[in-house]
Structure 1
Amino acid sequence: MTFSSIPDLSQARLGVLGGSGLYNMEGLENVKEIKIKTPFGEPSDLIRLGNLGGIEVVFLARHGRNHSFTPTEVPYQANIWAMKSLNVRWIISPSAVGSLQEQVRPLDIVIPDQFIDRTHQRPLTFFGGGAVAHVSMADPFCNTLSRLVAEAGESLMPEGRQLHRGGTYLAMEGPAFSTRAESNLYRSWGCTVIGMTNHTEARLAREAEIAYSSLAMSTDYDCWNSEQANVTVEQVIENLKANAKVATAIVQASAQKVGELRPKSAAHNALKDGLMTTKGKVPEKTKEKLYLLTKPYWG
């Protein structure tokens, strides 16, 4: 993959999509809140824009600051579109997950590199309405950004907790947790963690040409581990609080690295060879709706 057609990243911003337990971004300076309307509706909450580690950061709580949206109800298209409209070219996504493997203990963190999608009520594309695009999802996370986040995070993990590089994230619809049969099925597939949000974001981020990486924070052993109590909301919330502090530190360190390196990613021109419909054949209404994403190619 060459990066010759990637636009200037010197003024680009870093996006952070805060998950369960992370509804604010500590350390942001000169914060202002922005309300954005998109062709896909309103984002989950007001956008918070501020400075962190030498780079402008755009923070959004994916479930809303009061955790008002179920995983199915999160306005994924609006959230990613809003990030793109603010010149976000990298997204770090902290989120709560259940562990499907013994070696990933509660309070560990995984930087996954693959997905399996088991959702069925999500918008998985910005396209349609007379415009078709097929982007590559062979490597759904940005390897460059994920490596940077892992390097920043390893030295910040508290004693007794581990950061795991690589693994498969099983995306389920939710909001209920898995059955024991489902949990064991996903384990048999070799999945590492299970969550409800990141896959949808990653697909849309790729179409928006934004590099995407996940901080998957293990809160429990799902329900497959008969030696552990079945997952409960109380257990998840308790571990979310413990995870939020280290996740914030990792995001802060990663922001500094992104600000220094401005890393190029194959994601930054993912639509270059993905647009299938000829511009002249796209209905004007659809063309206007997609302009933010397609302007480098359709003008």
Structure 2
Amino acid sequence: MLAFIGGTGLTRMDNLRIVDKHAITTRFGEPSAPVVEGELDGQRVLFLARHGDPHVLLPHQVNYRANMVALKEAGATAIVAANAVGGITTLAPTGALVLPDQIIDYTWGRESTLFDDPADPLVHVDFSWPFDTALRDALKARLAASDLKWSDGGCYGATQGPRLETAAEIARMERDGCDIVGMTGMPEAVLARELGIPYAMLSLVVNPGAGKSTHEITMEEIEAVIHDGMANVCQLLAEFASDYRP
């Protein structure tokens, strides 16, 4: 079953007709919220609010392992994760959607693997290309058929948060090759790989990165972009669900 993870600004999908809620406790603890099962344009899908419902969890407080295991136990066979990001390069202007194809992980202290029990075999997963090609291609086709502003490819830099980055940090990330910056892409993406679930990310650029504009970043500006942009994301995901066939 196709699953969506909603980030900042997408705690609920208003166009989702809920048919069930799965309160799942995993061996890693409780997920951020119950896994919601519902219908989008007649297609059965799953939805999980990454930061809880209501939005209460900071990026470093999210139990990513419980979230991903709960989705798998609920029947997820593919995951599209939506998130709000800052733009670093010209690939990522404010208000645009980015379909990244790479990640650099700058987070620290997060539980980042399912294979840390000494009693279990040690497993190393290949993570050369962190996003599933077929799932990304399907998303690209849907984006190409829309009238939304979007970019194919780019590198997502995952930072610890919850503070925004300094201008020097954004300059460093740009030198490293990052096009966008967010706080939730890791370890979510690698946990999906460890579970064998195809995973792709759809990122809404809600502000320029630090030092990339002439004025201070304000939450009011970010929230205004989120309000309109996540409504577009919600509609796009509904259209994607209606024609996605794994």
Could you list the structure 1 runs, at least 4 aligned residues long, displaced by more than 3 angstroms after superposition.
none
Q: How does 1:174-253 map to 2 (within 5 A)?
A: 174-227=161-214, 229-253=215-239
In 2 relative to 1, CA 163–91 (structure 1 residues): closer, same or farther, beyond 3 Å? same
Contact 1:150/1:163 (<8 A) preserved: no
Question: Which secondary structure does the structure 1 equivalent of 2:68 belong to?
Answer: helix
Matched residues in 1 for 2:112 and 2:92: separation? 29
* Letter of the structure 2 residue corresponding to residue 168 of structure 1: C
User: Residue 89 in 1 paired to residue 89 in 2?
Assistant: no
Structure 1 residue 226 displacement after superposition: 4.0
- Equivalent of residue 157 in structure 1, options 140, 147, 152: 147
Deviations 1:131-172 (A, max 9, x none): 2111110010011101111211233234xxx21000000000
* Letter of the structure 2 residue corresponding to residue 246 of structure 1: N
Matched residues in 2 for 1:30 and 1:103: separation? 36
Structure 1 residue 103 displacement after superposition: 4.0
Q: Report the counterpart of residue 40 of structure 1 in structure 2.
A: 28
* Letter of the structure 2 residue corresponding to residue 163 of structure 1: W
Question: Which secondary structure does the structure 2 equivalent of 1:104 belong to?
Answer: coil
Matched residues in 2 for 1:42 and 1:242: separation? 31
Structure 1 residue 30 displacement after superposition: 4.5
Question: Which secondary structure does the structure 1 equivalent of 2:186 belong to?
Answer: helix
Q: Report the counterpart of residue 10 of structure 1 in structure 2.
A: none
Structure 1 residue 83 displacement after superposition: 0.5
User: Residue 104 in 1 paired to residue 88 in 2?
Assistant: no
Matched residues in 2 for 1:32 and 1:23: separation? 17
Structure 1 residue 55 displacement after superposition: 3.1
Q: Report the counterpart of residue 265 of structure 1 in structure 2.
A: none
User: Residue 255 in 1 paired to residue 244 in 2?
Assistant: no
TM-score, with length taken from structure 1: 0.79
User: Residue 29 in 1 paired to residue 6 in 2?
Assistant: no
User: Residue 75 in 1 paired to residue 63 in 2?
Assistant: yes
Larger displacement relative to structure 2 (26-35 or 240-249): 26-35
* Structure 2: runs of 5 or more not aligned: none
Deviations 1:95-144 (A, max 9, x none): 00000013421100000000000000211101122221111100100111
* Structure 1: runs of 5 or more not aligned: 1-12, 263-299
- After superposition, the CA RMSD in angstroms is 1.3
Matched residues in 2 for 1:92 and 1:63: separation? 16
Contact 1:222/1:230 (<8 A) preserved: no
Matched residues in 2 for 1:224 and 1:102: separation? 14
Question: Which secondary structure does the structure 1 equivalent of 2:51 belong to?
Answer: coil
Question: Which secondary structure does the structure 1 equivalent of 2:123 belong to?
Answer: coil
Report how many aligned residue pairs link the two structures: 244
Deviations 1:205-260 (A, max 9, x none): 01111110111100011112143x232222211111111111011111211222xx
Structure 1 residue 201 displacement after superposition: 0.7
In 2 relative to 1, CA 30–225 (structure 1 residues): closer, same or farther, beyond 3 Å? closer
* Letter of the structure 1 residue corresponding to residue 151 of structure 2: H
TM-score, with length taken from structure 2: 0.95
Contact 2:167/2:211 (<8 A) preserved: yes
Question: Which secondary structure does the structure 1 equivalent of 2:230 belong to?
Answer: helix
Structure 1 residue 34 displacement after superposition: 2.1
* Letter of the structure 2 residue corresponding to residue 47 of structure 1: V
